[in-house]
Chain A
């Protein structure tokens, strides 16, 4: 069964750092672009960052640009999000999500989501 499992969330103070990880299984990880999407408490979904299937291209939401870094290790089927200079407004559940396959026509959508990992930034 295909799976995405996030880890690394926790409680940190403003200005501190945190690194999230996402372990993928049961699909060819290196064939898919991967994204992080977050959801603040009681709010909607907010896209955060994407890394291309090869890892060579990254793109970020303006709200995290310069503070967050997305990366992947295709040999280990893992996705990471390094979060520096955390702010109160970064408090959210962070989801790892997979682009649909290009052949299926669903590559512009997200066909698999992890269960999420909670990040709380609090003083």
Chain B
């Protein structure tokens, strides 16, 4: 079973700064990694799929990188509205279940 470990647990930054969030897999997941944003009281929203592809409607300030076991989500020029918990997620064709990381809480 693949385990996803996110770091840091909490990140406090100011508007305009850059945030770098990390997700490490216990074994190679190729580029099969997605990132989600979950604001308080809301459902998660897909940001990045395939490690580096922005989902529809996601601003270019959000970018994903990495492959194999180490991945990053970068948010440039932070805004107050970016305050949320960010999760990474992996899934393969088989078995078809998904794994989520524990999340990083971003405070602006």
Chain A residues in contact with chain B, CB under 8 A?
Answer: 33, 35, 37, 44-47, 50, 52, 57, 59-61, 95, 100, 105-106, 108-111, 113-116
Chain B residues in contact with chain A, CB under 8 A?
Answer: 32, 34, 36, 38, 42-46, 49-50, 53, 55-56, 85, 87, 89-93, 95-103
CA distance A19 to B90 in the complex (A): 27
The answer to whether A113 touches B89, judged by C-beta atoms less than 8 angstroms apart, is no
The answer to whether B43 touches A114, judged by C-beta atoms less than 8 angstroms apart, is yes
Contact of B100 among A33, A46, A50 (CB under 8 A): A46
**A47-B97, A47-B100, A111-B55 known; A106-B91 Cβ under 8 A:** no
The answer to whether B98 touches A106, judged by C-beta atoms less than 8 angstroms apart, is no
The answer to whether A95 touches B44, judged by C-beta atoms less than 8 angstroms apart, is yes
The answer to whether B96 touches A50, judged by C-beta atoms less than 8 angstroms apart, is yes
**A44-B87, A109-B91 known; A100-B43 Cβ under 8 A:** no
B91 to A, closest residue via Cβ: A108
Q: Which residues from chain B contact A50 at a C-beta distance below 8 Å?
A: 96-98
CA distance A59 to B98 in the complex (A): 10
Q: Which residues from chain B contact A35 at a C-beta distance below 8 Å?
A: 98
Looking at the assembled complex, report how far the CB atom of A16 sits from the nearest CB atom of chain B, in whole angstroms. 26
CA distance A108 to B95 in the complex (A): 11
**A44-B87, A105-B49 known; A110-B96 Cβ under 8 A:** no
The answer to whether A109 touches B103, judged by C-beta atoms less than 8 angstroms apart, is no
The answer to whether B100 touches A95, judged by C-beta atoms less than 8 angstroms apart, is no
The answer to whether B89 touches A59, judged by C-beta atoms less than 8 angstroms apart, is no
The answer to whether A106 touches B49, judged by C-beta atoms less than 8 angstroms apart, is yes
Looking at the assembled complex, report how far the CB atom of A81 sits from the nearest CB atom of chain B, in whole angstroms. 15
Q: Which residues from chain B contact A116 at a C-beta distance below 8 Å?
A: 43
Q: Which residues from chain B contact A113 at a C-beta distance below 8 Å?
A: 43-45
CA distance A110 to B38 in the complex (A): 13
Contact of A105 among B53, B93, B98 (CB under 8 A): B53
Contact of A44 among B43, B49, B103 (CB under 8 A): B103
Looking at the assembled complex, report how far the CB atom of A104 sits from the nearest CB atom of chain B, in whole angstroms. 8
A58 to B, closest residue via Cβ: B96
CA distance A61 to B99 in the complex (A): 10
CA distance A57 to B98 in the complex (A): 15
